[in-house]
Structure 1
Amino acid sequence: MRVAKIIVDVPTMQTNRPFDYGIPDALVDKVQPGMRVVVNFGQGKRLVMGMVVALTDSTDFDGELKPIQDVLDEQPVLSKELLALSKWLADDSFAFWITCLQTMLPNALKTETKQLKNGAGTQVVDKGRVQTVDYLHTLLPAARYTDLLQEVRKNAVKQIALLTRLGELAAQAEVLPVLQLEKELGIPRSIITAAAAKGWVELEQREEYRHPYAELDNMPRTTPLTLTPQQQDAFDAVSDALNSQQNDTFLLEGVTGSGKTEVYLQLMAQTLADGRDALMLVPEIGLTPQMVARVKGRFGANVAVLHSGLSDGERYDEWRRIARGEAHVVIGARSAAFAPLQNLGLLIMDEEHEASYKQDDAPRYNARDVLRWRGAYNHAPVLLGSATPSLESRARAQKNVYKLLLMPERANHRALPPSEIVDMREAEVDEHSGDLSTELISALTECLQRGEQAVLLLNRRGFSSFVMCRECGYVAKCPNCDISLTLHMDSHSLRCHYCGHEEAIPRICPSCQSKKIRYYGTGTEKVEQTLNAVLPQARVLRMDVDTTRRKGAHGRILKQFGDGQADILLGTQMIAKGLDFPNVTLVGVINADTALGLPDFRASERTFQLLTQVSGRAGRAEKPGRVLIQTYNPDHYAIQLAQHHDYERFFALEMHMRHEGNYPPYFFTFKLTVSHEEEDKAAKAVYRLADMLTAHLSDQAIILGPTRGAIARVKRRYYYQIVIKYKKEPALQATLEQMLETTQISSRSGYQIAFDREPLSFI
């Protein structure tokens, strides 16, 4: 009997390995690795989904093998490459294999297990639904429809309209969607169904893709631009690796506006010409609309898009288009790293420094590592691009692990916009302008008078940071998390940005009954209100998590701004990178210090990157740009060097700071987090893990903690963490694997343990 090795959809350590199942004779020709199947697992009639990872002719199991109950797929949903990737990902991120397999699949390919009534076991329900459209075929010659017109009653207006149209369709041998015919003639479906029953027409169901950005497929194609010498040098280096199918990793460090995207597009074109596929990642869906327009503008319907802003149906259909070889270019956010391309020839990561490429939940992977794994598997080059590369990537380029490509000038040969620092400790701020200095308001006024546009960055959404009583000092806090609630005037509520808790705005202090409740801090919503008051003539668009919740909101806001329907685009960090609007001549940073006070060794790096990236939105075309940076820390090196766009000096200085503190890229890091609803239990558990690490790791490893999380309570759970810093630690992998197995028993008692290799946040 043929045997299938199957990973079952039961995420525990006890099931984190393949189980052997017999393949019934009726399914022998159907079952293949990478297919989802239904199997009976455990005692009774418990049916679960499983993923076939291998086939064999023998088994080590002594008893009688259970047979596969059903096969859910006609073709494998995961290729040999993606199955191998899932196993590497599970080992590298200390996640369950089934969790990694599920992460790779669109939601529509994830099954649901339902409990049957009367304890009759479980049932596996496949959520994937193909969209079908009814089409109409004429069955008679055109002349016959003319004859039928003479036979119907004169007052049967809708039937007459249908027969007339059917005669036209028959004469042209045309097929139409039924819905289109209904709208065109204003007739109900029942009239068409009756015509089919009489043998006049035939109705056929056809599968039809739910196609995001379909309107871009038929837009006029853009033509490749003539590359500048620095662009040509970068192109040639990667092109050589493409030609030789060499798995090199390139770091393309190019200032904002240097033309990195055009280099990407021309390399993609070469990859397609060679008969291979290209994959491009952008850091978040806010960037996707503009980049999708540019990539589809070059390659049309050959492009598929994958990101979380799509509906489940759209994502399912794009996934199937890719897997079927109907799209050979994929663009998307982090999860697009797992796109089922069959013949990868080029992998690109734009804005490679962005933290959004790191997954926060299990499996805690970095998309950069996934691309490098796939590049090695496919003998394909990986191209990482950024104006402000992460220190880790730039350090690897310094050591020739990556190949460094430099584009230090803008493609239009214009200078980077001059930046001015506004010292908010001394700046004039009146009662109406709130957090906007007179310098920034004056610059905005001049910009509007010239008919130009401005971008304003404030890396905090909401109306106000917190609500406090001036009488007793009470601050409205979330009941589930150790964090103050943020005021949102659009919904007239206080909201927690960690767990989503929402409550009414208090008018009287719950602590002392005083009426002296005031709002403190600022947010994008409050700044929008201030702008409307101070510059009533300005048309303001706000772009943050709150205004982009609805599907397609990112694209609609950016299109409005690009079409000149607004003067000022105000937003959080999602507007800081990748956007290219020729009429933007002013960039204002309302508070450059937002990240500087965070307890994270990357705080300076993130501040420098954010300021440099947002500054690059100004003066990208013919009109000169200007940048104003408001700050309470004007002497901080990250702000000073961002003012002068000086990445090289920042890199040297920050590397010195990292070396002194024994932090990446000089050390690797690993974070262990333990949580429980009872604080003392979380604390005891984390100290036990610390003892285990101390016992097994060498003296060269630096163990920080255990400590309480920076935000100690989130969603009613208390968090403690340990950070390990190391250079070479041979026993680490085995020790962590042992911990993973040991802590599985604890999870039944309400403990949660998270393993995070190379975390990007220590908060």
Structure 2
Amino acid sequence: MAQIGQILVDVPTMQTNDPYSYAIPTELEHQVQVGMRVIVPFGRGHRLVSGVVVGLSDVTSFDGKLKPIETVLDLAPVLNTELRQLADWLATTTYAFRITCIQTMLPNLLKTQPKRQVQPTTTLTPAEMATYFPEGAPRDFDATKLDDATVAGLLKLQRAGKVEVVYEVKDKAAAKTTTGIAPALTPAKLQEIADKVAKRAPKQAELLVYLAQMPADKVVAQAAVAKKAGVTPAVIATAADKGWLTKSTLEVYRDPFHQPVTPTRALKLNPEQQVAVDRITQAIDGQQSKNFLVEGVTGSGKTEVYLQSIAQALQQGRTALMLVPEIALTPQMVNRVKARFGQRVAVLHSGLSKGEQYDEWRRIDRGEATVVVGARSAVFAPVENLGIIIMDEEHESSYKQDENPRYHARDVALWRGQYHHCPVVLGSATPSLETRARAAKGLYTRLVLSKRAKAQPMPTVHIVDMREQLKQQGDSDFSEPLMTAIQERLDRHEQIVLMLNRRGYSSFVMCRDCGFVLKCPNCDISLTLHMDTHSMKCHYCGHEEAIPHVCPNCHSKKIRYYGTGTQKVQQALEKLLPTAKILRMDVDSTRRKGAHERILRQFGEHKADILLGTQMIAKGLDFPNVTLVGVLNADTALGLPDFRASERTFQLLTQVSGRAGRATKPGEVYIQTFNPDHYAIQLAQSQDYERFFVTEMHMRHQGNYPPYYFAVQLTASHEEEAVAAKAMFQIVAALKQGLSKDAIILGPTPKAIARVKRKYYYQVVIKYKQEPQLRPVLEQIRQAAQVPARHGLSVTIDSEPMNFM
């Protein structure tokens, strides 16, 4: 009986979670494995699409003749059993399709897109050639980039058999190679030749002696041979010609660690740290899928708890996975982990080149790396035999993916912990309310680190009322107390961290005569002024245009800049403090590869006095000479129409305050705000997380918000507002019909920013406690949305959204 493959196909216009049956060609029988990627013909036009083998069998329920698999893309499966099961679970919980979840798990270089070309099969008339093949050669066929008349004409030619579409499938994954050297003769023979040529060719003799000492079965990179033997490539070439050695292609890994690190040893733990490590170690030893919350104040030594717990897992021959929320944090954390565990560490994040990502992924897949550190997507690393999973700064919203599949890395980590029977450690100074509430219910074991690791005092936090400062010194980004504190630190050669959670030069440009604000033509949002590129930019769609000098509305020249961004603050600081060296760290200054690492290294080496940045500098950074932290505007997030606004403000202020006074010198923090009496700001001043937790939980209970209720957000978008709105009203009608009366349905309403990238967005939010029919109703909505999606109407489902904006 012929072998049959069950293939999940990747057809964006009509996805399904059900695999299709394909015949496996005789020559490939028993060679194709589950987890491999393949190319298969699909549909009536037999177009070639990529797919993943999810099953093999000898029988099928399909009555007709099965199409055969065209080709395989891999020599070995790219998905192991665990990741296939994880994809199925992810598809169910995030209302995504299985193939989308599988694509998300693979590194970018393993994602392939067939390229289509249309070419003549017979001699076309001169008129046809001029119309459809003006360059006289095959042309790329992308219906989205061709006008309707051209597509219609090509379809007629295709039906007449005059043209055909050729699919070119290229796997983009390329290994990096170098020349490898291996001895071609026995050690005794090589030594004999070396003795003969020693006088007339001493360099050849040195190479022969080195070759005689090389293991017979090992291939060594030519560069390493040349260096260790002290010879040139020319000498190696001569030796190859004489048959003393053989050359071959040797695969080498691209190294994402650009800086050497000094090895470190385990530090002595304080009693609280010791308790935490002991409890986690017990779970590792007992292979228990226990979940821990390490709630430790900033500077309490959570990282050392992580490192010693990882060491315990490695000691047992198991592996470790550690997640950090942002690329900005990875350089420091990776260096610490690498300093402790050396070459066993692999790093995965989007700041690496595609080649580096691919090499690190394969090192993990082959079992060569046993400790993986990375940002959100590293949670899918193909690590076998996990002994511990750690998620640092677990409260961070960047752990939630904002496109399909809309997963939260914490949920994936907990699933993998169950699968591997290993503990999951969630760490934070300011845990998310959901995590802290689960710990209160006993679902997580709470381990508290209440003191700083080296017994340093917490920094003194001052709240500066900017309403008073406005009366005294007018509109300024810097209050008098903060400027005095900055000058004191500069005089003492200490360092300062300043945070302003808004990039660019100013928030918007407005005409003082008519009030016109320059907006993005594609989005319902004002453009931000950027002085470094002398342009107005949209931070949502990337639209860019020149800075206006005359109002486009009333032609007045009274155009003024309002609000403040990091660029403007940097310019103001350079004028106020001409001798101070300032580094700026925001999305604009860290676009280039390695920029995060370079800026942090310069600051760590005290090549700058002030590090100015957005929230990316608030977390995890550890510089012993930083004694002052300034928050220029604590109100940025407070005014947002978002039920997590207070929580985010408290977390951000607590985290950034923790950058001060982490070594022997005491730290001080100045928080500038127009809302000095707000509970989030008051409790951040006293670093009182527990009181904030109780206060905020009370507010959430009153408003029926998570963690008291589960939530799902559905969004419809289209270029025409009426189409998006109508779709959302139809969805609400389906929800009301399918769900119980206990479900709270909010909406439909336009989103807070109603238009982005020329599309209008409408949303509905469902809040519920138990809703058995929710999943089937949402699955029905998702399936029904696929047909209108071809006409530009997009419907998305976000389970447990991070915000309702």
The TM-score, its normalising length taken from structure 2, stands at 0.89
Aligned partner letter, 2:74 = D
Return the match for 2:207 from 164, 169, 172.
169
Query: Is residue 2:256 matched to residue 1:212?
Result: yes
Q: Contact 1:47–1:123 (CA<8 Å) still a contact in 2?
A: no
Q: Distance in 2 between matches of 1:142 and 1:551?
A: 48
Query: Is residue 2:498 matched to residue 1:456?
Result: yes
Q: Distance in 2 between matches of 1:181 and 1:240?
A: 47
Aligned partner letter, 2:334 = V
Alignment of 1:657-736 (within 5 A): 657-736=699-778
Which residue in the other structure is 1:288 paired with? Answer: 330
Q: How many residues get paired?
A: 750
Aligned partner letter, 2:652 = L
Q: Distance in 1 between matches of 2:472 and 2:577?
A: 14
Question: Shift in Å at residue 28 of structure 1?
Answer: 2.5
Q: Distance in 1 between matches of 2:198 and 2:443?
A: 78
Question: Shift in Å at residue 15 of structure 1?
Answer: 3.4
Aligned partner letter, 2:66 = L
With over 3 angstroms needed to count, the CA separation of the structure-2 counterparts of 1:508 and 1:195, relative to structure 1, is farther
Question: Shift in Å at residue 432 of structure 1?
Answer: 10
DSSP 3-state at the match of 1:120: strand
**Which segments of 5 or more consecutive residues in structure 1 lack a partner in the other structure?**
152-162
Q: Which moved more, 1:168-177 or 1:614-623?
A: 168-177
Which residue in the other structure is 1:135 paired with? Answer: 180
Which residue in the other structure is 2:131 paired with? Answer: none
Question: Shift in Å at residue 211 of structure 1?
Answer: 1.6
Query: Is residue 2:58 matched to residue 1:20?
Result: no
Q: Distance in 2 between matches of 1:651 and 1:437?
A: 30
Return the match for 2:414 from 367, 372, 383.
372
Alignment of 1:529-540 (within 5 A): 529-540=571-582
Aligned partner letter, 2:42 = F
Question: Shift in Å at residue 166 of structure 1?
Answer: 4.1
Aligned partner letter, 2:253 = Y
Q: Contact 2:391–2:410 (CA<8 Å) still a contact in 1?
A: yes
Alignment of 1:113-262 (within 5 A): 113-118=114-119, 119-136=164-181, 165-173=203-211, 177=221, 202-213=246-257, 215-216=259-260, 219-262=261-304
Question: Shift in Å at residue 431 of structure 1?
Answer: 7.9
DSSP 3-state at the match of 1:304: strand
Q: Contact 1:112–1:127 (CA<8 Å) still a contact in 2?
A: no
DSSP 3-state at the match of 2:364: helix
Q: Which moved more, 1:677-686 or 1:32-41?
A: 32-41
Deviation track 1:454-486 (CA, whole Å, cap 9, x = no partner) reads 100100011110111111111111111011111
Which residue in the other structure is 1:159 paired with? Answer: none
Q: Distance in 1 between matches of 2:385 and 2:224?
A: 38
Q: Distance in 1 between matches of 2:204 and 2:592?
A: 41
Which residue in the other structure is 1:154 paired with? Answer: none
DSSP 3-state at the match of 2:672: strand
**Which segments of 5 or more consecutive residues in structure 2 lack a partner in the other structure?**
120-163
Q: Distance in 2 between matches of 1:74 and 1:474?
A: 61
Return the match for 2:783 from 737, 741, 752.
741
Which residue in the other structure is 1:564 paired with? Answer: 606
With over 3 angstroms needed to count, the CA separation of the structure-2 counterparts of 1:191 and 1:122, relative to structure 1, is farther
With over 3 angstroms needed to count, the CA separation of the structure-2 counterparts of 1:428 and 1:751, relative to structure 1, is closer
Q: Which moved more, 1:441-450 or 1:37-46?
A: 37-46
Q: Contact 1:40–1:46 (CA<8 Å) still a contact in 2?
A: yes
Q: Distance in 2 between matches of 1:618 and 1:71?
A: 55
Which residue in the other structure is 1:73 paired with? Answer: 74
With over 3 angstroms needed to count, the CA separation of the structure-2 counterparts of 1:138 and 1:351, relative to structure 1, is same
Q: Which moved more, 1:123-132 or 1:261-270?
A: 123-132
Q: Contact 1:45–1:120 (CA<8 Å) still a contact in 2?
A: no
Deviation track 1:104-159 (CA, whole Å, cap 9, x = no partner) reads 000111112111332234232211101101235676958979999999xxxxxxxx
Alignment of 1:35-46 (within 5 A): 35-46=36-47
Query: Is residue 2:380 matched to residue 1:342?
Result: no
Q: Which moved more, 1:142-151 or 1:467-476?
A: 142-151
Percent identity over the alignment is 61
Q: Contact 2:193–2:208 (CA<8 Å) still a contact in 1?
A: no
With over 3 angstroms needed to count, the CA separation of the structure-2 counterparts of 1:150 and 1:514, relative to structure 1, is farther
With over 3 angstroms needed to count, the CA separation of the structure-2 counterparts of 1:373 and 1:513, relative to structure 1, is same
Q: Contact 2:330–2:374 (CA<8 Å) still a contact in 1?
A: yes
With over 3 angstroms needed to count, the CA separation of the structure-2 counterparts of 1:742 and 1:190, relative to structure 1, is farther
DSSP 3-state at the match of 1:108: helix
Q: Contact 1:23–1:67 (CA<8 Å) still a contact in 2?
A: yes
Aligned partner letter, 1:127 = K
Deviation track 1:68-116 (CA, whole Å, cap 9, x = no partner) reads 2222222211110000000111111111111100000001111121113
Alignment of 1:72-91 (within 5 A): 72-91=73-92
Which residue in the other structure is 2:532 paired with? Answer: 490
Aligned partner letter, 1:6 = I
Which residue in the other structure is 2:134 paired with? Answer: none
With over 3 angstroms needed to count, the CA separation of the structure-2 counterparts of 1:188 and 1:266, relative to structure 1, is closer
Return the match for 1:401 from 414, 439, 443.
443
Q: Contact 2:207–2:229 (CA<8 Å) still a contact in 1?
A: no
DSSP 3-state at the match of 1:15: coil
Q: RMSD across aligned C-alpha pairs, in angstroms?
A: 2.4
Question: Shift in Å at residue 57 of structure 1?
Answer: 2.4
With over 3 angstroms needed to count, the CA separation of the structure-2 counterparts of 1:282 and 1:476, relative to structure 1, is same
Which residue in the other structure is 2:548 paired with? Answer: 506
Q: Distance in 2 between matches of 1:480 and 1:188?
A: 60
Q: Contact 1:146–1:164 (CA<8 Å) still a contact in 2?
A: no
Return the match for 1:419 from 461, 466, 473.
461
Q: Which moved more, 1:131-140 or 1:8-17?
A: 131-140
Which residue in the other structure is 1:6 paired with? Answer: 7
DSSP 3-state at the match of 1:558: helix
Alignment of 1:268-307 (within 5 A): 268-307=310-349
Return the match for 2:565 from 510, 513, 523.
523
Deviation track 1:301-321 (CA, whole Å, cap 9, x = no partner) reads 101100000111000010000
Q: Distance in 2 between matches of 1:147 and 1:492?
A: 71
Which residue in the other structure is 2:686 paired with? Answer: 644
